[in-house]
Structure 1
């Protein structure tokens, strides 16, 4: 008997910093035990270079990720939907677990501030993974 793999969706307006860091941590810490999606309502042209740099310090390469538009199907297909404190409008479907992680936006921040945001995200991701029992 195989158990179902949970799907987690990270949502942020630009899908270029916080949501990408969180997705990177889930992929790194949970591997194929969790399916990870991310999207934004107004995707940026590229990733925040500071987010890429601080994740590389952790040995996690998110440089090839691409900001993408949030699709209603992503929400429908997800078990857990995490919004990143940016007031994003997200479709609501019954039976989904929704959380809003209030996090500073790393855009335009100095490297030390981005590291603090990264570390906060890591702690939240570790708690999320424990709650999913993966």
Structure 2
């Protein structure tokens, strides 16, 4: 959630996060929006926000954990749907932003496949926002002897 600050996804993530934490309480919703705006302000107002980023990520991680631990089991499925909607919304907006790479770089919005043929070696250096999945290069083919 903190990673969304300053991106096109921030407004949607902020609003959905406030709704999830407020759980229908209007006063709490206002307080959560204020806390989220404080997070964004502190992260965008500083030239070097690395310390603030670590602090806010830690703070929000703890708050999410406490919220999830406090939910009655019967509310978990509906809460999970709201959380997945927030994550999906952030991902869709992040996917619509522009990407770039420096000299000799490759910028990709989507999947990348690096393959070695005939027993050769292939590799790449990867900077990823999100996850990485590595597949067996010989999947479906016989391994060279």
Structure number with higher helix proportion: 2
TM-score (structure 1 length as normaliser)? 0.31
Work out which of the two has the higher radius of gyration on C-alpha atoms and give 1 or 2: 2
TM-score (structure 2 length as normaliser)? 0.29
User: Structure with the greater relative contact order (CA < 8 A, sep ≥ 6): 1 or 2?
Assistant: 1
Structure number with higher strand proportion: 1
